Chain A
Amino acid sequence: MNEFLLIFRRDLQSSEMQPSPEQLQNMMKKWQNWMGGIAARNKLVSSGNRLSNEGKVVKPGDVVTNGPYVEIKELIGGYIMISAESLEEAAEISKGCPILTVGGSVEVRAVIPMGT
């Protein structure tokens, strides 16, 4: 089994929308079902983290800007780690991710195992 990092990017505009409590509840259920499905296959390595919209970007020459989103349309919303046989399988699993239903995307990256 290999490990993969799934990075969730959401569309900046949709992340500024104010969903109703019902929509939020519904979205949460979708996320839990999707993650639970991965965990039920014993393929969830880490539930990862959700990231706050707040942030700073540090650039060479003591340049610090507020927020990573000045030049981009998408924002990293969180990540999890899964295990899968191949990049293809990891991508297949990602197809069920609820972020895809709200204009977001999942970036699937293989983790390079550390030498033991």
Chain B
Amino acid sequence: MLPHLFRTEYRKIISVLVRHYGFEQLSVAEDIASDTFLIAAETWGIKGLPEHPVAWLYTVAKNKSRDLLRRNAVFNEKLRPALKAELLANPETDIDLSEENIKDSQLQMMFALSDPVLSIESQVALTLRILCGFGIDEIADAFLTNRETINKRLFRGKEKLRTAHIKIGLPAAEEINKRIDAVLTSLYLLFNEGYYSSSQNSVLRKDFCLEAMRLTGLLVENEQTNNPRVDALFALMCFHASRFDARTNENGEIIRYDDQNTELWNDELISTGHYYLNKASRGKELSRFHLEAGIAYWHTTKNDSREKWENILQLYNQLLCISYSPVGALNRTYALSRIYGKQAAILEAEKLGLAKNHLYHVLLGWLYTGVDQDKAKEHLNQALIYAKTETERIGIRKELAQV
């Protein structure tokens, strides 16, 4: 119960507090939020769960922040000059933990944490920490790095938020459309971090995806922030998430698309994806999220027709024309092989110039299988050299054994 509440309520308390006090007091807000949960853990451990745990948490958070204002001299000295006039006039001003304000505060926090002055890495780390309530260890695990690196990233990000005087607030209506792409990119990265991470902790990876979807959902629901790109990104996430359980085995190893058990695909998420992809098509806009959602949609169709792969190929063609990525280039080549055969795809693949990418060699290993076994082995051995994690190497060794 408590870990779950921590995940859902921590970010709300922080967002509201930061909206109230400003980013200058981010660490104070973090302290208040952490203290609140500490008190909850102690009290609930002894007395059992209160009747309304969430309300209980909010009351404690409110009291904590009021106490800090009233009693803590050091805090007062630091905070007083920075506080808004109306707060000084009435230090009892309550922290507003209404549902409305919580939603607004989180939305505003999303825009602030995607401010372009922050490095992309900091954006994602701060979003994970502040808006999703993930622990340092969990973030480090997902990024396949250590605590120190993540701590540094967070520290630098927070410094930047302070020194650059980032204001928490929704940009002006005409600014939103411009700024929202940074927010979408950061949510897209957050989702991908969960979806593609080679971390073996699949529960954690799924949580990342769900959190990204929840935050994107806030943008979808809000009239000011909703636009066709937002809907397209949400559709993309639904389609991807629908295959989440089918794409890894119990050891966290990736199961190839063709070998996935389609019984495990989640029909409800697929139909939610349909709804939002349709909604995203209301204008003329065709963003990368539209194209990627289209690709993801075709991947959720179970009938392995030529039409399916033709559509996937054309969508990849369009996607690559507006936004190149090595993974996109490799996936395009895979789709090409499904229509024009392995030989044709090998010719295209060898032009890609990705010889240091292990996935490039995995693809060529697959393309050469049944065409030239020696070449297939050669490429899979190359893939072993360039693979970055043990999970990847285990997968490649399995392929090698089958050639």
Contact = CB atoms under 8 A, between A and B. Distances in A.
Contact of B348 (A35, A37, A44): A37
A78 B328 CA distance: 26
Interface string B315-344: 011101110100011001100100000000
A44 B353 contact: no
B329 A40 contact: yes
Nearest first, the 8 A-B pairs at minimum CB distance are A36-B317, A39-B320, A40-B329, A32-B317, A42-B324, A39-B321, A47-B321, A40-B332
Interface in A31-74: 32-33, 35-37, 39-42, 44, 47
23 contacts: A29-B310, A29-B314, A32-B317, A33-B313, A33-B336, A35-B317, A36-B313, A36-B317, A37-B351, A39-B324, A40-B320, A40-B328, A40-B329, A40-B333, A40-B348, A40-B351, A40-B352, A41-B329, A41-B352, A41-B353, A44-B320, A44-B324, A47-B321
B314 A41 contact: no
Contacts of A47: 321-322
B318 A41 contact: no
Residue among A29, A32, A35 facing the most chain B CB atoms (10 A cut-off): A32
Interface of A: 29, 32-33, 35-37, 39-42, 44, 47
Q: What's the interface size class on B, roughly?
A: 10 to 19
Contacts of A36: 313-314, 316-318, 320-321, 332
Interface of B: 310, 313-314, 316-318, 320-322, 324, 328-329, 332-333, 336, 348, 351-353
Contacts of B310: 29
A42 B332 CA distance: 13
A80 B324 CA distance: 16
A32 B318 contact: yes
A36 B345 CA distance: 13
A38 B147 CA distance: 41
A42 B329 contact: yes
Residue among A33, A39, A40 facing the most chain B CB atoms (10 A cut-off): A40
Nearest to B348: A37
A42 B314 contact: no
Contacts of B351: 37, 40-41
Nearest to A46: B321
